[in-house]
């Protein structure tokens, strides 16, 4: 099994799938890329057992075969090579690959390609076509709100819900929640699944700068994403997602509208003086004046800033975790945001005042923290 390939093309393809590899594995073959050659088509695999990604390149060869090649060494070698054709000469008995370049020869010992984890089949699948920018936006807007609690695995992923009216993506860790809706992404039938965080991060990086339709196929155990030369299969999170609609307060008579960059900057500055354990900030709204304050009683630190705002409702004081609010404001693009509230002990809802896309709807919810008056 021999073939010739461009060094820069191979490096680009390997880097695109390397995000799924773990830094340490109990199974040595998972430290490798699988090279599978079939009549001039080279398919590259990377896997961590839960998620497998493939990409393919046309190469100069008419042979067939496979070999698992150590990923870290190969990536380092290719990164230090200038653009040039590389000849791969595979010894199937020793499971080794010799790389011949213009100036040298390099030999890597790998593993039998037949022992590499097989790409799982997604049988009896539901299929959805979604634009790459829609899927990329959905991941960007939601993934930061996922949880890390091993006791509640369903909350460690993003809930993806498809209907004939829209597509909804939800993430929550019980302290904050994001619901991202696209009314221009519809499915033929209603279906849903919970996608783990790691493959979502890999997918987000793969979708950056891509303008393509993504085919999503899924059943109860796996989801399969295909676009361009990329195929990604991942195991889904098993379980029932919490009823997120039930925690979103419907009656919120107090509405605060404020400039997002100014509000973001003020919270960043004031939160420096907040308690390092609670990250608590206090919002005091009276008329058209918003005062943001924080204090750390242990060190006698305090800070406050005042902003002009538009406010409808009764004067109120409410406390939030500054880290959560900063994450939400950073992941919104609107020049102005509106915070809808009902009471100091009920969740606050943050929404963009202007929609960048009329088909897009973003709702972010943050639980309050108790104030010590």
If we measure between CA atoms, which residue out of 92, 75, 91 comes closest to residue 23?
A: 75
Q: How far apart are CA 276 and CA 274, in angstroms?
A: 6
pLDDT tens for 137-151 read 999 999 999 999 888
Name the band, by pLDDT with cuts 50, 70 and 90, for residue 160: very high
Both tokens of 367, joined, read 């639980």
- The structural domains of the chain, ordered by start, are 2-115 (3.10.150.10), 126-245 (3.10.150.10), 248-366 (3.10.150.10)
User: 356 — phi, psi (to 5°)?
Assistant: -70, -30
Going from the C-alpha of 216 to that of each of 114, 202, 206, 222, the distances in angstroms are: 27, 15, 15, 11
pLDDT tens for 311-366 read 999 999 999 999 999 999 999 999 999 999 999 999 999 999 998 889 999 999 99
Q: How far apart are CA 204 and CA 189, in angstroms?
A: 25
What is the enclosing helix (H) or strand (E) of 127?
strand 126-131
What is the enclosing helix (H) or strand (E) of 78?
helix 71-79
pLDDT at position 4 is: 95
3-state helix, strand, coil in the chain (%, to 5): 25, 45, 35
CB 190 within 8 A of CB 214: no
Q: How far apart are CA 354 and CA 283, in angstroms?
A: 23
Interior angle at CA 173, CA 169 and CA 175, nearest 5? 115
pLDDT at position 343 is: 94
pLDDT at position 15 is: 97
Kindly report the number of other CB atoms within 10 A of residue 44's CB atom: 21
278 CB-near residues (< 8 Å, 6+ apart): 321, 369
- Tell me, letter by letter, the H, E, C secondary structure of 167-202: EEEEEECCCEEEEEEECCCCCCCCEEEEEEHHHHHH
Say if residue 373's pLDDT is above 70. no
Say if residue 196's pLDDT is above 70. yes
Cα 24 off chain centre by:
22
The pTM of this model reads: 0.92
Q: How far apart are CA 369 and CA 210, in angstroms?
A: 40
pLDDT tens for 19-66 read 999 998 889 999 999 999 998 999 999 999 999 999 999 998 888 999
Say if residue 123's pLDDT is above 90. no
User: 268 — phi, psi (to 5°)?
Assistant: -60, -45
């Amino acid at each position: 099994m021999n073939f010739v390939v461009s060094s820069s093309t191979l490096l680009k393809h390997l880097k695109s799938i390397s995000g799924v590899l773990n830094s340490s594995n109990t199974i040595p073959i998972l430290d490798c890329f699988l090279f599978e050659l079939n009549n001039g088509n080279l398919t590259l695999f990377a896997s961590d057992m839960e998620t497998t990604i493939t990409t393919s390149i046309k190469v100069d060869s008419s042979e067939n075969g496979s070999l698992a090649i150590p990923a870290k060494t190969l990536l380092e070698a290719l990164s230090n090579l200038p653009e040039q054709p590389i000849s791969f000469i595979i010894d199937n008995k020793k499971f080794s690959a010799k790389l011949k370049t213009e100036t040298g020869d390099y030999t890597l010992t790998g593993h039998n390609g037949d022992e590499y984890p097989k790409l799982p089949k997604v049988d009896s699948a539901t299929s959805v076509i979604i634009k790459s920018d829609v899927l990329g936006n959905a991941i960007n807007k939601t993934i930061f709100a996922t949880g890390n609690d091993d006791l509640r695995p369903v909350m460690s992923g993003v809930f993806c819900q498809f209907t004939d009216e829209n597509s909804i993506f939800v993430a929550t860790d019980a302290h904050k929640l994001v619901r991202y809706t696209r009314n221009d992404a519809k499915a033929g039938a209603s279906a849903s699944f919970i996608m783990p965080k790691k493959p979502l991060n890999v997918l987000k990086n793969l979708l950056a700068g891509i303008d393509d339709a993504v085919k999503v196929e899924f059943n109860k155990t796996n989801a399969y994403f295909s676009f361009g030369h990329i195929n990604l299969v991942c195991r889904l999170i098993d379980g029932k997602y919490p009823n997120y609609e039930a925690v979103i307060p419907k009656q919120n008579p107090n509405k605060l509208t404020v400039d997002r960059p100014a509000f973001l900057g003020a919270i960043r500055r004031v939160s420096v003086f907040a308690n390092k354990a609670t990250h608590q900030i206090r919002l005091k709204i009276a008329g058209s004046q918003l005062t943001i304050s924080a204090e750390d009683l242990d060190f006698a630190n305090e800070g406050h800033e005042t902003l002009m705002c538009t406010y409808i409702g009764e004067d109120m004081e409410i406390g939030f975790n500054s880290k959560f609010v900063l994450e939400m404001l950073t992941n919104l693009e609107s020049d102005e945001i509106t915070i809808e509230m009902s009471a100091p002990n009920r969740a606050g809802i943050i929404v963009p005042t202007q929609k960048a896309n009329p088909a897009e709807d973003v709702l972010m919810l943050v639980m309050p923290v108790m104030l010590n008056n």
